[in-house]
Structure 1
């Protein structure tokens, strides 16, 4: 692996999409540059900042100050925290507020927050006046390395995760790693699952580096910027080759078919953060791959061991209250997975492993072996 970035050296990662190419700026204390960057990108624009109540306490005023210093007018829209805002009601609230703020097609929506705010604000921007551009200012680790990059926006349906949405690329992403210092340890760990995912799916050397450096990433050392920039590069490269997920981009869903079902089973609540669901889902995907003879049991154990070392949940039994609610049965989970966006004509698509660092798309997976596998896992085997 390359030498980690120094704190004082922000790095720019390009997402190459022709005339819609945009920059991801990664580094400590880059949020104050937001206003100047927007002024250079869109002279004369007005903005509306969408954020949640927790993020607003820490970062709304600094964001507004940066915009004001660059002469950019802004208004604020503050929503409730959590997946509950990624709903029809949340979309209505934000859309109506943007209209009330008189945001026009030439203006910008700024998503200041984690994955929920980014998905919600980005989707509202995509349908407002048939499309308004937006800027991502991700304030969680998960959002900085995953959800803010690549243009997936949307809300949840009661029937499943992210079933209502659109591809709508941002025009700029500002990933200020210093804002992560305000996250709770649990929130940070949840985001780390998406960092580990890039190593597991396509970069064994990066995964090995993470095994050696995860403590420095968590503590905020120079390894943090390096991990985020490496993750962004990995996602940007895949998105530039397959923006609409017609092929290779599906690899980024490693752990998500299982994970999204677990999120739905727990009511899209704080009982299971998205990254925690992805962590359990990655372990299940690795263990299912081993059950099919695709990888060695030792490789599956390696994935599980690393995620556990970071403090992430790695098994179904790690979800509090899961069994007591009657959700811990294979048929219930299979029914939830049947709503996954990757299902085609009723057949499941899984991202499975041929090795640590080499994921493959497995289409038309028969449900019987998945059900048997889940029954075994639910029995603690």
Structure 2
């Protein structure tokens, strides 16, 4: 392929001095065209960086070529020393590469050690002697800098104007390729994360009871809807060998994968402990001690622990920071708010839960408890749904089955918060005496 009278393919997009191109310059342009083709098909970041560096070594006939990539999280530039797979890191405002990146302009230096911007620490670390430098920012399609391409120590002398033109052109191609690679990796990571989230959601949903327990004389229903694919709320039932039924509802701070993992751990612990200890306060105390050792400091769990005795028609419960707990009394159509007995699980391992309450059910009575996602969900005016509104719904629909009461609360919650997306997990539990 011959390039005459300065005619250059559009991909190069530069203006050259008058006169014929030399054979060397024609070879340089061919390399630029070839690297453009290669960059279009590479889908691995390390291979992309290596290809850019090897191409730059050939085009500029220099001792070293390095691609520095910007790390948004640390505000640093980093690069691998290809020959030894070592990573070099420094502030994005430090050194000549940092100046090039921060000010988004090309830099040419004839004697690095005489330039006050030069950072000799990289030479010390890599056992290399930098003499001359030519550095150009790598930018996205909208000229946002995302890295620097730097070539060092040209064999034939100083870097010249033609080298600057070549480096600008090469950097433009490499910047777009690097941007595409980042977008590709983000897409792949998002797909992988979504796959993991889907698995976590399936596992979490599998932990929730598939159906309400059949308990003579009682109508029991629970319901859960996470704010994201996975949530930090859960409920559970577990029949005990003495005929009683364990019931739990819990709310881990936050929502998403982190709280979901804590919820799964708490779920497993409370199941194991309920089968070992006879007293509800002992269950809360031991679950707290065990869970406090493992969960992060910024996490805690509000838990309602309960034991229902169908024979005695009574329920004993301990609330570890969980509320509200509402007792609907059918005889007078009134609702009583029951107390909590200690702080949430996971704050301090030494907490001993000593309090408990006993509820003796009569026909039509209900114990209702739910997580704060219900009453804290706000409408378009920023006003929360509130506990009192839930109490009114319970009173009005008290003759319905427990599951239908929960759904009625949810329907009215959606109507109230229309246009405002769910921001917290929703979980409810109703124990109703037939």
Same fold (TM over 0.5): no
* Richer in helix (by share): 1
* Richer in strand (by share): 2
Q: Greater relative contact order (Cα 8 A, min sep 6): structure 1 or 2?
A: 1
Short-chain TM bin? under 0.3
Structure 2 length as normaliser, TM-score? 0.21
| The structure with more radius of gyration | 2
Structure 1 length as normaliser, TM-score? 0.23
